[in-house]
Chain A
Amino acid sequence: MVTARYILKGMRVVRRNWPLVAIAFLFKFGLALLFLTPLQSLVARAFGNHPAAGRLLEEWDLTPLIDFAYNNRTHLEQYGYFVLIAAIITIVLHLFLSGGLFRTIAFGLGQEQAAFTAEQFLGWCGRYFGRFFKIGAASVIFYVAIGALFIILSQLGERLILAEGAQGPVKVYAALGRMAGLLLLLLLVNMWMVYTKIVAVVHEERRLSVILGEALRFLRLTFWRAVSLYAGLLIGLLIIMGAYWALQKGCGVLPTSWTIVVLFSVQQALSLTRSWYRLVGYAAQTGLYFAKLKIER
């Protein structure tokens, strides 16, 4: 119930500040176009006038794709480097926008109308870029540390298991357990970083280490509520993905121009929904943080 209340509250905030959804979606759409253009031109050159493209229209036939990959391997290698650079740019741009997004959400809570103007939004983006960049760097360090820890523990575990001569299901369950453990740790770090960003826009004057500590303190005090909210948001995301899966399967049945246009629309609608849903998640978590602050004060 508490989870649902915060998610609904988040929805209201995002509805009032709907231009944020447009910004998040257009950011993603624009960069996706940038990523797509070189690849699409390669595809067009390979299949533009070849009957092989007709086969791809019917179904994802791998034969033309295998030949395409071999005959364009040099271009694809170059494209790989391009993707790497573009990915870094994407992350930096995202960090830039995050300051504005979080600040708008944080101060939009409890207000009856949109809480920002374009000038304000861009101003906040610039103002928080430095600290969001640091938070981004800290996240990378934490994720890498978790990964390294996972590898070390896995190897230790494997040695222990093999030393005891354990085989069969023990090994399988151990592998599954390890993967689940890693995923859980990564999600926990992810949750911690979201609250760090919220704290960063609420307490502007504090240093990064203090912000990280404050977010950690908040999580310690409201751990189960924060986790249930995070889990609720994740379940919602899975439902949205499931709905898309069913829709796109339906659209792929008859490859006519109409179904392809419908498929495109469904895909973009889902992309828009995911942008909206992420902001709802941020707003819900910000709401939870503010509720705790209110009690403390």
Chain B
Amino acid sequence: MKVRFQIIFSAILWVGSPLLPPFSFGQEGPAAPNVASYRIDVELDTDEKKLYGNEIITFVNISNTPLDTLCIHLYPNAFRHEKTTFMKECPRWYRRRVAKRKKWGSMEIINIETTRGKNLTDSKIIDETVMKVPVPQPLPPGQKIELRIEFTVTLPWIIARMGYRGEHYSVGQWFPKMCALRPDGSWVAHQYHFTSEFFANFGTYDVSITVPEGYIVGATGYLEEETADGGGTKTLQYHAESVHDFYWEADPDFTVTQERCGDVEVSFLCLPDHRRKIPRVMKAACAALYYYGEWYGPYPYKRLVITDSYLGAGRGMEYPMIVAVTLSWFFPESIRWAEALIIHEIGHQWWYGVVASNEFEEPWLDEGINTYCTRKVLEALYGKDENLVRLFGLTLSHLQYNKAIYLMAPKRDPIVKNSWEFEDFVSYGATVYGKASLMLETLEGYLGQEVMRRILRAYFERFSFRHPKTEDFIETAEEVSSQDLDRFFEPWLYSTGVCDYAVTSIESRRTNPEEGADGFTAQRYRTKVRVERRGEAIMPVEVLIELEDGQTIAKDWDGADRWVEYEIETGSKIRSAAVDPDNKILLDVDTNNNGLTTKSQRLALFKIGSHLLFSWETLIQWLTAF
């Protein structure tokens, strides 16, 4: 087992990045309320693929009612067998693949007691991934309780951010974790669903992890101490404040790269296949920290870890102070997939980590906002048009990619919905990532980029270390923009309608010539333009009419009626008309019908036809090669 430490100092990338000035944030430490705090000792048994843990939970009743029951998540039970809620919601192919391996995971609660010695083990009620524990006497508002829990976790073959693959361990959702408590005393105690991520109250975490010597560990928090235990193991002591989860990974083959990005020490734990990617990952990480910090607010911790991981769910995952990404060895620099992934996951430190919205019930608040912000960083770094792919003359922007994602299921679900109630995983992705981020892009089109940044900055400042809801975001947006935005948000957040404006006909007809004051007659035309609203969503739009003499006429339409017809006297024939000419409405499902010209686009059609003909000839050539 090789252990390599590769220390690369910030100067290398920093000097080479004129776009990125020095940092000026992260001066003051975070300050979140300690609602659910944990002291955990955990040992990784690499032979049995198990975790043996002891934890003390200190929980404060922040609600206004006494609590007679505590709710605790036991997430690993989602992987106990193929009939769990999580597994039943998986796509069939995924479930089959997991079932075929027969390497399931689970969590056993061996003992629960209060630190005052009252044993609660027998009174616990476990419903798959949620455990209810009646407390000896109701916990009054503002009071705290301490629970001591002994548990074991059987790690599955990697699935949904948890488990092992070879000697690699991805350890997320691994400890008995308090459900989030609402101010009214109700619990956010949902089962672990396939499409769902997580939600918890803030707290302080002191975690000591015992692993075999030679394993390299990346985790949430600050490493305070590392001691060799003798007998071939070592223990690492981590401390994290103002966080709401704790994730760690261990692998003997990690290569560690450290670099300072402003005040933040960034560590990248890279798997051997991907060492070539190290400079790209570090550059993207520093850029993300810089732009998010500059635009929305400072990153409140001094440390950030990026792990190159096997996740078994998507390509990346965010946890406080640590992000896990699955890189691919073959993507060249012209495909900026790794960069987009790193920027996105780091962006979650703002939208999820600090502004801790409820990922169970309103996933768009972190994923939608963060997808929009990821795009802004990519655009700042690589320009608007080719910020995702620039390969063999083919370009793809993040915006185009998002539009394609959105169009996979544009009218199946509204944005605001419990994550597990989306029709399926495709609709979840199309709505939460695609539709939500395009909605924000459209809002930017109306308000301008500067106002949009101010909205997000205000939202971040107001709700740092808090748990905002959709209404909080709307309220902030309205306040900062000084506009009533209910009409804007309503069709996207709460309904399934789509937007489609179309110019359906244009014409100019001669009218009787008009005699001017100088005695000359000028030819006049009656020009008609018909615009239709084919979708359900209503957005105010501009209609731009262009005449053959180069003159342009702009009309504003509130977009409410199903159609509108403009009839105007013009001195020249119409050349073209376009609705939403600046392409502000990114959610328009068919922008190809947004404009109409009087002349046929023969040259373009010939070019397209020529390419298609040649493509078919090539295909036939291959088809008949056998």
**Which positions in A face B, CB cutoff 8 Å?**
28-29, 31-33, 35-36, 39-40, 43-44, 46-54, 56-57, 59-60, 62-64, 66-71, 87, 90-91, 94, 136, 139-140, 143, 162, 165-169, 171-172, 190, 193, 249, 252, 255, 257, 260, 263-264, 267-268, 270-271, 274-275, 278
Contact = CB atoms under 8 A, between A and B. Distances in A.
A50 B504 CA distance: 11
Contact of A36 (B271, B601, B616): B616
A270 B614 CA distance: 9
Interface in B309-354: 329
A191 B589 CA distance: 49
Contacts of A62: 395-396, 400
Given A31-B620, A165-B167, A172-B329, A66 B404 contact: yes
Interface stretch (B107-115, B234-242, B285-293, B592-600): B592-600
Interface in B587-626: 589-601, 603-614, 616-621, 623-626
Nearest to A55: B604
Given A50-B593, A51-B597, A90-B624, A267 B604 contact: no
Given A70-B410, A91-B623, A267-B617, 19 more contacts: A31-B620, A36-B612, A36-B616, A47-B605, A50-B593, A52-B592, A53-B601, A53-B608, A60-B393, A60-B395, A62-B395, A66-B400, A165-B167, A172-B329, A263-B610, A264-B606, A267-B611, A270-B614, A271-B618
B529 interface: no
Given A29-B617, A36-B613, A62-B400, A71 B590 contact: yes
A229 to B, nearest CB: 16
Contact of B617 (A52, A59, A271): A271
A288 to B, nearest CB: 19
A33 to B, nearest CB: 7
Contacts of B612: 36, 39-40, 43
Given A40-B609, A171-B273, A267-B614, A91 B403 contact: no
24 contacts: A28-B621, A29-B617, A32-B616, A35-B616, A39-B612, A40-B605, A43-B608, A44-B605, A47-B605, A49-B600, A50-B594, A51-B601, A54-B601, A62-B400, A66-B407, A67-B403, A67-B407, A69-B407, A90-B624, A91-B623, A94-B624, A140-B626, A169-B272, A267-B617
B605 A43 contact: yes
A242 to B, nearest CB: 13
B591 A67 contact: yes
B19 interface: no
A29 B617 CA distance: 6
B467 to A, nearest CB: 36
Contact of B597 (A49, A66, A162, A171): A49
Nearest to B593: A50
Contacts of A264: 606, 610
Contacts of A260: 603, 606-607, 610
Contacts of B625: 190, 278
A267 to B, nearest CB: 4
B166 interface: yes
A87 B591 contact: no
Nearest to B168: A167
A190 B592 contact: no
B: contact size bracket? 35 or more
Contacts of B213: none
A138 B604 CA distance: 44
A33 B601 contact: no
A230 to B, nearest CB: 12
Nearest to B405: A66
A94 B616 CA distance: 15
A267 B614 CA distance: 6
A47 B604 contact: yes
Nearest to B576: A51
Nearest to A165: B166
A48 B605 contact: yes
Contacts of B620: 28, 31-32, 35, 90
Contacts of B517: none
Interface string B250-271: 0001000000000000000001
B621 A274 contact: yes
B431 to A, nearest CB: 15
Contact of B590 (A36, A70, A140): A70
B582 to A, nearest CB: 13
Nearest to B625: A190
B601 A57 contact: yes
A59 B403 CA distance: 19
Contacts of B600: 48-49
Interface in B562-606: 576, 578, 589-601, 603-606
B585 to A, nearest CB: 12
B394 interface: yes
B597 A28 contact: no
A26 B146 CA distance: 83
Contacts of A257: 603
A190 B626 contact: yes
A252 to B, nearest CB: 8
Given A63-B591, A68-B592, A56 B394 contact: no
Contacts of A31: 616, 620
A31 to B, nearest CB: 6
A68 B594 CA distance: 12
A31 B616 CA distance: 8
A154 B52 CA distance: 36
Contacts of A136: 626
Contacts of A28: 617, 620-621
Given A162-B166, A165-B166, A271-B617, A52 B591 contact: yes
B516 to A, nearest CB: 33
Contacts of B607: 56-57, 255, 260, 263
B271 A167 contact: yes
A87 B619 CA distance: 10
A47 B601 contact: yes
A258 to B, nearest CB: 11
Contacts of A263: 607, 610
Given A66-B403, A257-B603, A50 B166 contact: no
Given A28-B620, A36-B613, A53 B604 contact: yes
Interface string B348-376: 00000000000000000000000000000
A63 B610 contact: no
B2 to A, nearest CB: 10
Interface centre among A87, A140, A267 (most CB of B within 10 A): A267
A270 B621 CA distance: 12
Contacts of B603: 57, 255, 257, 260
B537 to A, nearest CB: 16
B403 A167 contact: no
A271 B617 CA distance: 7
A169 B167 CA distance: 16
B544 to A, nearest CB: 11
B253 A167 contact: yes
